[in-house]
Amino acid sequence: MIERKNLIARILLFAGLIAGAFLSLAPFYWMFIAATHSTGEIFALPPNLLPGKHLLSNLANLQAEVGLARVVFNSTILAVVYTIVTVFLSAMAGYAFAKFQFRGRDAIFFGVLITIMVPYQATLIPLFSTMAKLGWINTYKAVLTPNLANAFGIFLMRQNMQAVPTEMIEAGRIDGCSEFGTFMRIVLPSMRPALAALAIYMFMFQWNNFMWPLVVLNDPKMYTIPVALSSLIGLSRIDYGQLMLGASVSTLPIMAVFLILQRQFISGILSGSVKG
């Protein structure tokens, strides 16, 4: 009797999981299918859930409208550079907050956490004024620099760094390794899951970043994918086939990166929950 109840419970659990997976994937399926249709076919009733014949024409029109290859290249370069630099800076800051004892450490860390609570929109005007004074408007330096010191990244790395045995770090110092060498050769290799998790998060953040690039960039040749796609929305006419194709192209890299590194992402997030 107990085994039968367990079997029924498992069947219901798997049925719920399958239903949840279907509901989660259905919008993506519709987006990919809509990318192969024209605007009229997208709004047809009943909706056509099979691939259409307008994929190549939508791709050609999208390339002509926004220069798809160029904006994908722009977004890729910005996301990769931002991810590498931010992950490294966050790891160094997290290491300092977790393993060094200095006056005001906790107060400084608390101040870093407070910045997460500041609405992003409230920082746009002072940041734009600063970029204008530096002469960085319409440059990629203005896009990348303000967000390099990411408070969430510092918090995540600090939480994970607390799990690194202090004895292992001290052993490296005793063996004559410099502080930076200890960080690079001992600490970072042991933090690969957390680094992968943070890298995925930072890549997604920069890849999807819309508001700030829209503010500081005014040359269409320098646009990122979100900014370029926003230019497709006109006052009187919107080509939803192009828009869905652009959204599909924008989504695929993120899905690929997450699927490749999902194990490291999950283990890195869970390891950050360990109380130090």
* CB-based contact 67:231 (threshold 8 Å): no
Options 3.20.20.140, 1.10.3720.10, 3.40.50.300, 3.40.50.720; CATH of 54-271: 1.10.3720.10
Both tokens of 167, joined, read: 């004895």
Longest distance between any two alpha carbons in the chain, whole Å? 75
**Sequence-ordered strand ranges (E) for the chain:** none
Q: Record the pTM.
A: 0.84
pLDDT at 86: 95
Q: What are the pLDDT tens digits along the chain (276 aa)?
A: 667 778 888 888 889 999 998 898 888 898 999 999 988 888 888 888 888 888 988 899 888 888 889 999 999 999 999 999 999 999 999 999 988 888 888 899 999 989 888 888 888 999 999 999 999 999 999 999 988 988 999 998 998 888 888 888 888 888 888 888 888 888 888 888 888 888 888 998 999 999 999 999 988 899 999 999 888 876 567 788 888 899 898 888 888 877 777 776 666 555 544 444
- CA-angle at 95, arms to 93 and 100, nearest 5°: 105
41: left (phi over 0), alpha (psi -120 to 50) or beta: alpha
Q: How far apart are the first and last CA of the chain?
A: 45
Residue 258 is given by DSSP the state H
Dist CA 23 CA 28 (whole Å): 10
Going 182 to 187 to 190 to 193, the CA torsion angle's sign is negative
Kindly report each contact of residues 46-54 with a partner whose C-beta sits within 8 Å and lies 24 or more positions away, as own/partner: 54/241
